[in-house]
Each structure stands twice: as structure tokens, then as C-alpha cells.
Structure 1
Amino acid sequence: MKALKTREEVLVELDRCGMTISGWARKHDLPRQIVHDVLHGRSKGRHGAAHKAAVLLGIKDGVILVG
């Protein structure tokens, strides 16, 4: 299992790569506000798009079901 990242680590990584939250959200076809809320602790990423964002960001261990 891959080590999980903290929200702060993800924000630093985005900054290091020169990518905005909006750009990352577009790249992964997710609503910007949901990604922003997950990264700033306003959403725990338990369901739906927030879950998908948290898993793709590497801050949550989980499975993304397609279909």
C-alpha cells in the first residue's frame, strides 16, 4: 500500500509542480469547489466526487468504482 499524504503535502506538491487546484480538478474532471473543500478540510471525502478527489490526491486509501 502506498503511503498516504497529508493535505499540506498535497498543497506543497501542487505548488512545486506549478499546478492550481482548479487545474488539477479540470485534469481529473472534478468540480473545483469539491477539490478545494477536500484539500482545506471542509470535506472528509467520504462519498461521491469528494471521495474520488481524496483518493486521487493520495490523502485517502480507497477504491474508485466506475459505472
Structure 2
Amino acid sequence: MPNGYPTEQALEKARTLISKQGLSAKEWAEENSLSPSTVYAVLNGQKKCLRGESHRAAVLLGIKEGTVAQ
């Protein structure tokens, strides 16, 4: 994924993760101090998730490996 968008399989896994927690994407975003619009864009494959808030969302969702500053 470093040079492209997340795979559909990774995105589906992230959606399942949120669903298993009984949360909407907006609720999950707010619990993790993220913008809901960024989380929706990541889950829909509209962001590359290379840096910034989209990177943080992708790491927390398990879409990509990496570290996030807390």
C-alpha cells in the first residue's frame, strides 16, 4: 500500500472492525479524535493514507502498518 490506495479487502476488514464494536464510522472517528469525513474517505478508498490524519485513521483501523503519535 505505500504507493497506492488501500485494497478493498483491507477496507472491508476495517468496516467489519467498526461494525463489531457496534459503532458507526462517525462514532468511531469521534472516539479516536478523528474527523468523520476523513474516516469515511479512508473507508471508501478515496485517500491514499500516506500522511496526516488519513494515515492515523488507516493505522488505527488496521488498514496499514505504522505508528501514530498520541
The verdict on a shared fold, with TM-score over 0.5 as the criterion, is: yes
Structure 1 residue runs of 4 or more that deviate by more than 4 Å after TM superposition: none
Matched length: 62
User: Are 2:44 and 1:11 equivalent residues in the alignment?
Assistant: no
The residue aligned with 1:64 is: 68
Unaligned 5+ segments in structure 1 are: none
Percent identity of equivalent pairs: 34
Report deviation, 1:47: 1.1
Q: Give structure 2 stretches of 5+ with no counterpart.
A: 1-8
Mapped partners of 2:17, 2:51: distance in 1 = 24
Q: How much has 1:14 moved relative to structure 2?
A: 1.8
What TM-score, normalized by structure 2, do the two folds share? 0.78
> Does 1:50 pair with 2:54?
yes
1:27 counterpart residue number: 31
C-alpha separation in 2, matches of 1:16 and 1:44: 25
Deviation at 1:6, TM superposition (A): 1.1
